[in-house]
Copies of this chain bind each other. A is one copy, B any other.
Amino acid sequence: MDLSLVFAGTAGSVPTARRGLPAVLLRAGGDRILMDCGEGTQRQLIRSVGLVDLDAIFLTHLHADHWLGLPGMLKSFDLRERSRELLLYGPPGTAALLQSVRATYGRLGYPLAVIELDAGDAIEWDGYEIEAFNVAHRGQAFGYAVIEHDRPGRLDPDRARELGVTDGPDLGRLQAGETVDGVTADQVVGPPRPGRRIVFSGDTSPCETLRAQASGADVLVHEATFLHADLDRARQTGHSTARQAAELAREVEVRLLVLTHVSQRYHPREVRDEARTTFPATEVPRDFDQVVVPFPEKGAPELVRSELPVP
């Protein structure tokens, strides 16, 4: 399964000339799932990978900078005659919020399912699940963990041949756990390989739930609203500093830390450099940059810079 992220908006609270409001597109196999939908997200997608027919949108929390792009996007899907159901997941209050802005997008020609999650709820997708967990922001706020199912172990074809198994369908049956001509799967198939894990912090101060979810993650997408010099403001507002994000990433040994929700107070390079002092495998994407997440045996998660012009 191909697994990658497109950073459609990497600013926090207020957009800048170069950074739109929060939104990350998760591409998992054929699924297209949006994490948050700040004002202008539909256009950020149009400007980069296209306004793809999303399967679902997950909101981390209901502060306006994380969802104000939703009504316009819902309407645009309607104007181009979407018929397929769209799933909208969010914390408690999401349904009431949608109802309150119902007039902005009016009657839609496709079903919109609004599903409020509780912490711990996991939505099953084809080959992975997305689990909501509580984080420490102002009001109820979620992070989300994208957890790929464990993959079957690797089959050793040489060992299978030694045991008299012929090439072809029998190898597939062994891989699937069956016994073939007295040869059992565990004789030729290694242990299950753990699936990949991508964790989104949402907006949060450092917290235990995030630490637990991020443990060993391939990619941790973490907010970094402040530099550590402004730690007090970070605490007051329920946000993190770049250093705090890096400390968490180091403690729980993520493979790649990706910082977002950056403030115009700082140059993004300052944010990156502060984090890298603690955790070198840190990136601060620009809008439209991607992060590809290969199977661990194929390589490390990697930032791919966009070649699109940024104003």
Contacts and interface: CB of A to CB of B under 8 A. Distances in A.
Interface of A: 13-17, 20-21, 39-40, 42-43, 46-47, 64-65, 68-69, 71-72, 75-76, 79-80, 97, 100-101, 103-106, 308-309, 311
A289 to B, nearest CB: 15
9 contacts: A16-B43, A17-B47, A39-B43, A39-B68, A68-B104, A100-B100, A100-B101, A100-B103, A308-B311
Contact of A71 (B15, B64, B75): B64
Lowest 4 CB-CB distances: which A-B pairs, in order? A40-B40, A15-B43, A39-B72, A64-B104
Nearest to A75: B64
Contacts of A71: 64, 68
Contacts of A47: 17, 311
A72 B79 contact: no
B68 A64 contact: no
A72 B68 contact: yes
Contacts of A80: 14
A14 to B, nearest CB: 5
Contacts of A76: 13-14
Given A39-B42, A64-B104, 6 more contacts: A13-B76, A13-B79, A15-B42, A15-B46, A64-B75, A65-B75
A101 B72 CA distance: 14
Contacts of A39: 39-40, 42-43, 68-69, 72
Contacts of A68: 39, 68, 71-72, 104
Contacts of A20: 43
A16 B64 contact: no
A43 B308 CA distance: 18
Nearest to A69: B39
Contacts of A104: 64, 68, 101
A15 B72 CA distance: 10
Contacts of A65: 72, 75
